[in-house]
Amino acid sequence: MLSYRHAFHAGNHADVLKHCIEIALLDYLGQKDTPFWYIDTHAGAGVYALEDAYASKNGEYRTGIGRLWERDDLPAALKRYVEIVRELNPDGKLRYYPGSPYCADRAMPAQGKLRLFELHPSDSRLLQANFEEAGRRAQIRAGDGFEGIKAILPPPPRRGLILIDPPYEDKRDYQHVVVALKEGLKRFATGVYAVWYPLLQRAEAKELPQQLKKLPVDSWLDVTLSVQSPSNDGFGMHGSGMFIVNPPWTLADTLQNTLPWLSAALAQDDGARYTLESRSR
């Protein structure tokens, strides 16, 4: 399906959670003076104009990044994330929002490499344009990231973060995620994998994290953030989650210090909550 455009949702509560965690993971990997790769299976356009027709239609960023923009009491992980958003908005007015590839480009050391996949033809062209100045640091491929990562794992440095975040408009994406992660781990067992998923009332969404927890890995961390109660009619996304395989040992503490504040800041009703679960063998 090629109808999905992330621009409609840029900067919403799910992006806040996803990009805050993504940047924390990249900062951790960047502590070592050895190169690593960032691989994004569904990279989108890279940068989004919040005043254009797509983003302004629903204005989802107003209850996401918009609620953090003027705060001066951000926890450290959120402060770091907002600093990267501010790089796109140097005049202080929130006009542009960075997608996952832009966040990665700004968070990674100079020797890092980006490998970006995007299937939607319009977004793929925009992504290419937004990364014209990146040169050989970033390689962009117009195609299916689920299939594409098979050819590039393991990365030559044997260090990397793989972000898997399909739109899930096609319910087959749920199974594609499980298969991609299983196959990725066979090729690159020591990689850090971050899977974003929506919190919905549909069965596939509820089953996905349970399937991921059954994978034969030594350590994982599962975090969810709900900003409102599920709707009575069962439609709509009330939150999102991130499932991280091989997480840094520091990440659970970082999130424990961040999620209570974030849950309160982004709450849309009294159903707002978060969960944090981990396992290490």
What digits encode the pLDDT tens for the residues 69-105? 999 999 999 999 999 999 999 999 999 999 999 999 9
pLDDT band, residue 252 (cuts 50/70/90): very high
pLDDT band, residue 57 (cuts 50/70/90): low
With pLDDT > 70 as the criterion, what percentage of the chain qualifies? 96
Please give the class, per CATH, of domain 6-280. alpha beta
Over the stretch 96-113, which tens digit does the pLDDT of each residue have? 999 999 999 999 999 999
Instruction: Report whether 177 contacts 195 (CB < 8 A).
Output: yes
DSSP 206-252: HHHHHHHHTSS-SEEEEEEEE-SPPPTTS-S--EEEEEEES--TTHH
Q: Look at residue 278 in the predicted model and tell me its pLDDT.
A: 95
Domain locations in the chain?
6-280
Contacts for 168 with CB less than 8 Å, ≥ 6 apart: 174, 197, 198, 204, 205
Over the stretch 204-230, which tens digit does the pLDDT of each residue have? 999 999 999 999 999 999 999 999 999
Q: Mean pLDDT score of the chain, rounded to an integer?
A: 93
- Catalytic annotation, residues: 165
From residue 175, how far is each of 118, 147, 166, 168 by CA, in Å?
19, 13, 11, 10
pLDDT band, residue 134 (cuts 50/70/90): confident
CB atoms under 10 Å from CB of 147, counted, come to 13
- Predicted structure pTM score: 0.95
Give start and end residues of each alpha helix (H) in the chain: 13-29, 53-58, 76-87, 100-107, 121-130, 145-152, 172-187, 203-213, 251-256, 259-266
Is 2 a residue whose pLDDT tops 50?
Answer: no
Cα four-point dihedral sign 103, 106, 108, 110? positive
Q: What whole-number distance in Å separates Cα of residue 196 and Cα of residue 100?
A: 11
